[in-house]
Every structure is written in C-alpha cells, then in structure tokens.
A and B are shown apart, each in its own frame.
Chain A
Amino acid sequence: MRKVTKLTCLLLTGMMAATALTGCTNKPAATSSGAETEKAADQTTAGKSTAEQITLRFMWWGGDARNEATLAVIDQYQKLHPEVKIEAEMNSDQGYIDKVSTMLANGTAPDIMQQNVDSLPDFISRGDFFVNFNDYPDLFDTSGFEKTFISQFGTFDDKLLAIPTGMSCLATVANEDAAKTCGIDLSRQITWESMLEDGKKLHEQNPEYFYMNTDTRILCEYVLRPYLRQLTGQSFIIDSEKKMSFTREQLVEVLQYIKDCYSGGVFEPAEDSATFKGQIQTNPMWMDGKFVFAYGPSSSINLLIDAVPDNTCTVVQMPLSTERVNDGFFADTPQYMTVNKNSKHVEEAVKFLDYFYNNSEAQETLKDVRSVPPTSTARNLCAEKKLLNPVVVSAVDLAAGLNGKSDKGYTTSAEVYAIQEDMIESVAYGQSTPEDAADNAIDLINDYLSGLK
C-alpha cells in the first residue's frame, strides 16, 4: 500500500533527522550559553582538558570595513590566547537596540557588547547589567584615555560602566562636485537660515538636485535637538530635573523650520526618503550625486563617501545659528563597549577589551573603523602611520572646538526618541501643523516624565 510506505518513510526520515539534528544543535547551544556547559562537555567527552576552554560572545554592529577589522583583532587575540574562543555576533544597526534590550531583560546577553550611545543611559537606569571597569585596574589600563573624556563618556555615578570606542561627532558631508554644479560656496559657514535660503534657491534653479540628504529619524539628532540646544543651551530633557528645557514656542519654531525645509525643497519629500530611512547612503539620488550635503556620524561617513566614488567629498561645519546661546553640537563617542556583569568570564572579557583598546597591533588594525581612536597612544600610532581617513579626522577636529554638551539620557531613550521622530514625521507628511504636533509631543513627553521611577 503506497500510502502506508509513504507515511512511514516520512515519519522515519523525520525522526532520524530530528535525532541527528538535536545532536547537532547541542553544540551551538552549549557554546552560545557561555563556557560552563562547554567546559563540562569538554571534560566529559574529550578528557584532554589541560587548559580550560573559554568562550566569549562578542556582539557589535557595523559595515563591512568595521566587521573585517574587528574580526581580525579577534583573530589576533585568539592566536595569542589559544584557550579563549571568541564568538563574533555581527549585526546591523537597525533593530540593534531592541535586540540588546531584550537580551538584557531575559538574561541572554553576550559577554561583550557594543552599545549605542543613545540607549545606554536608559539601560543603566533599569538595572545593574554592566561591569565597572574601575574594579579591575590590573586588567584594564585606562591611562591612554583623557580623564575628562572618560568622565564624560562612560562614567555613570562614578562607575566606569562603558568604554568609549572613539572620538566622533555629527558631520555634514559635502559632495564637492554637486556643490560646484549648484553654486554652493563650501567655505561659508552654514546657519539654519542660510540652509533654508540656499536650499530653496538651489532646488528652484536645479530641480533635480536637493540640498540635504536626510531622513526623518536623522533630523531628530541633526536638526531638531541641536536647533533647540542652540536656543536654550540645555539638553532636550534636563535629566537632573526631569523636565523639558524648551518652551512650546521654541518647539513650534523648530518644527516650522523643518516643515519649511520640506516644502521648500531643501530636503527630498518625506515620501521618497522613507524607503531609505536609516540607510541614506543607498538612496540612488545620493549615489547619482544629486544631493549637495548629507548628514552622518563621523564613524560612518565613509559609507556615504564610498557611495559616490566618482565625486570628491569633504566635511563642513555643522549649522550654527548666529544668535546661538551655545554651539549645540559636541564631540562625542560613536559607541561604547561594555561587559555583561552576569557573564561567566568577566575577567577574560575585560582582558580582551584591554587588548582591543591598548595593544598596538589591535590599534593599528582597528584604526578608524569606529572614528578617531579614543586613546592617545592609538591616535599617535595611527597618525604616524597615516592610517586615519583625513575626512574623518577633519570632521572630529571641527567638533573639537565646539562647546556643546552631550544630551544622551532621557532625551535619547527609545520612547522619547520615537516622540521626536513622530512629530517630525507628522509635520513632514503634512498631517499636522507645527503647533498641533508640538502640543501633542509635549503631552507625550510630560506623560513619559511622570512615569519615570
């Protein structure tokens, strides 16, 4: 009976496959849940446990160049320390924060994690997840970092919970050829007013060109908040007082500004840029050289530059209002490295990071894949060997002279960020007036602030 044989065959193959595969999957399950199970497995099966095999999970995000360099450093370390195996978990930046927050919540976080600067303060406020590097002075050498830099970036309540991976800033990349075609003078300092004016004129005269390549999320960090910081001199939300630093009128002003930019053709219509949200370097118009400027963090402007290989690019200073109270923009770190406090191999993880930051071979390999290196030793080494991309260096130099202060904290928590993005979107899509959007946002932010524990 065909039916019988067919079914039995299916069931048999299924069961065989299942047993085989459950055998297969045991190994990956063991390695990824930390070395304890692997140690036990090794001792029982191989019995050749002369040195304990330790496995660390290391998670980060980045483009190809960063991935390659980081993998190379992992390789170097594994060669020097054969008892350590590091499992690399490479990710994209989209959805990275969600992933980390889920893993922290359910205890499946890796040993070493790259952290997003915006979300880290929020995580730290929710629990004791990260190792304090100050507890391991023998294993991690902080002398190469400037004291003020480390105290501003990475230190929370006198605990060094995260190590900054570099010196970076927000950058305005300029496509020199497009600028020439459109008659934009790159030596003039951009102000918010000039951006609106020049952008409108540019698009009128050259309808296929746009002034600025951006998306609604980028605008939060590159226009909305800096504009307000230059008006008020304070962060969007003042963490110590748990309140907003701006007035409703000021918020309406900046939303009106953004709306004018969209309607005036300074930015591409929101509908069109929506498809490239988060990956503006893939916008075909940028790749065709139809944007004069683009916004990006200094640690990934190479992605923007590489997308237009036939044009030369440079960086110009971020927009500075002539009547500003504060420069708004500031030098920053692009990411942090943290060690999971619940890791089974805290010391090994810390040792690896020490190698990552302070070893000269590692420094040479990593050069500027995470923007300008954070340690003076690395910077000197890379400058000597001319390893740093001059565009990245000039971007960071431009930021070094500015007096803005970092606004990471409640301002950059997932919820508040979404509120910022939503108000920009509703104005960009013409769904609400700046006044309505501002009122709505202020309502939501007050709600958020009142819900803080």
Chain B
Amino acid sequence: MKNKKIYIVITYVLLGIFGFVMLFPVIWMFFACFKSNNEIFGSLALLPESWSPEAFIKGWATTGTYTYAKYFINTFALVIPTTLLTLVSCSLVAYGFARFDFPGNQFLFMILITTLMLPNAVIIIPRYALFNKLGWLDSYMTFFAPAAVGCYPFFVFMMVQFLRGLPRDLDESAYIDGCGPFQCFIRILLPLLKPALFSAGLFQFLWTWNDFFNTNIYINTVAKFPLSLALRVSIDVTSNIKWNQVMSMALVSVVPLIILFFAAQKYFVEGIATTGIKG
C-alpha cells in the first residue's frame, strides 16, 4: 500500500510541475504587462519591480486613430453573428442528414466528410477572387455567408453524431401529435441538442476569435480590424516597440476566451468527445 501511495504522490508532483511549466508562458505574460519595457528582457524575475497599469492604458489607447475598444467591438461583431449563423445552419443541415433517409443521403454525407479534409489553402485564392466579384471583400460577409450555409463540416458532423444518439421514438411521438418536421425539430430535438449546440458554439466562437489567416486576407481597412489583426499591427511599428503594451493587449485579447472556457468547461470536453468517439 505504501508503494502505491508514494507512487501517487510522485505522480501528483510531476503533473504539478509539468502543469506549471505548461502554464508558465501565460503566467509570465500576465506579469509582463505590469513591467517596464526594460524589465521584460534580460531579467529572470517573474514579478515586476513596480506594478504599473501604464502599459494597459497606453496599449489600449494606441498611437493610432482607434483604441482597442473599437477592435474589441469589431471582434464581437464578427464572431457572434458568425457563431449564431453557424449554429442555425449546421443544426438544420445535421437534422436533415440524421433523420431523413432521402435518396443520396449516404452519398452526400460522404461528401461532407471528405470536405472535412479539404485544406483551406487550396480554396482561399479562388474564394478571394469570388468575394472580390461579389464585392464582399473588406467586410465581414466573407465570414457570415459561409457560416449561414453550413460550410463548417466539422460542426455538421458533430451534430449528426449527437442526433444519431437520440432515439427516433421522440420524433415519432412528435409526428403522432401532429407536428411537422420543423416543429419536431424545434420542440423536441433542439432542447436535447443543447450540449452539442453549446460545444459547437464555443468552438466556433473560439476559432473565429483567434482566426488570423482568413481575416488577414479578407479585411483590409484598419477601422474593421478584429483583435488578431490589430495585435499584428502593434508589433509592426516604425518607432521603438513597447513590448509591455503589446503584451498587455495580447493578454486582454485572450482573457475573454479563458473566462469563457472556465465557465463552460464541460461543454468543451463533451464536444470533443462526441465527435471523437463515434467517428
């Protein structure tokens, strides 16, 4: 028995150390925001000599025309509609796939799975040209439109898997009660689909919030920059870079994600689990 206990203690200790090492960059980032520019480099000290919120204030205001308030608003304006549209379209499409055995269902579903592996790099250039023709470049339509038509196979897949786990009797009882398919969906299935919706929503929120490659290509004017682009600009300045300001804004931009994660941990995990297991 003692051996086992020692074993457990060692495990805890190792895990703890490793965990600390894992989180260390984020912890360091937090403290760096309060340091002066010189303290960040060349010194091993974790804690700042003096705690000054100056970096946050100056970093937020930036030397440009817009403050980070604008960039935050932009990010919300981009991420929230995209997420909502994704949820609506993907759940409907998943419903169609999971509950209706029209001819070609399996074939189309196979195509859906294949698109899971379609690399973004291959389609980005023609998409750019397409958006150019539609006049959507430099606007958030480049994100809203694909989201509105279910172009996120990962989420459709996730919801299909989840739906398959719900017994068909529920549908049948709804139909007996005289519901049409849509009502059946809204009244019966949707409430049960909540965990999957939650997970999908969280992931889409997260991915869109962090997106850099696509936003970099589609969004051009500074007034429309989301946080990821604004941060990129901040390390490009022509005069001396104030790293503590850059760090403070980087921290501020990830804080909402961390909060969201802690509040909704369970759904993150469940979401990954659902797609993973039944695939």
Contacts and interface: CB of A to CB of B under 8 A. Distances in A.
Interface of A: 3-4, 7, 10-11, 14-15, 17-18, 21-22, 24-25, 28-29, 31-32, 57, 61-64, 67, 87-95, 99, 102-103, 105-108, 110, 279, 281-282, 284, 300, 303, 307
Contacts, number: 99
Interface residues of B, number: 36
B73 A300 contact: no
Contacts of A25: 73-74, 77, 140
B63 A64 contact: yes
B124 to A, nearest CB: 13
B114 interface: no
B240 A281 contact: yes
B139 A90 contact: no
Given A24-B73, A108-B221, A303 B238 contact: yes
B65 A90 contact: yes
Q: Give the interface SS of chain A, mostly helix, strand, loop or mixed.
A: helix
Contacts of A24: 73, 77
A93 B238 contact: yes
Nearest to A90: B64
Given A28-B223, A307-B240, A7 B194 contact: yes
Interface in B51-84: 63-65, 70, 73-74, 76-77, 80-81, 83-84
B173 to A, nearest CB: 20
Q: Give the interface SS of chain B, mostly helix, strand, loop or mixed.
A: helix
A412 B1 CA distance: 75
A38 to B, nearest CB: 13
Contacts of B195: 3
24 contacts: A4-B191, A4-B194, A10-B198, A14-B83, A14-B84, A17-B76, A22-B77, A24-B73, A31-B223, A57-B221, A63-B239, A87-B223, A88-B65, A90-B222, A91-B222, A92-B237, A94-B236, A99-B220, A105-B132, A108-B220, A110-B221, A281-B240, A300-B238, A303-B239
B138 interface: yes
B45 interface: no
B233 A108 contact: no
Given A108-B137, A108-B221, A7 B64 contact: no
Contacts of A28: 70, 223-224
A67 B138 CA distance: 25
Contacts of B70: 28
A107 B13 CA distance: 59
Given A21-B73, A90-B64, A106 B137 contact: yes
A3 B73 contact: no
A106 B65 contact: no
A94 B234 CA distance: 11
A92 B77 contact: no
Contacts of A31: 223
Nearest to A282: B240
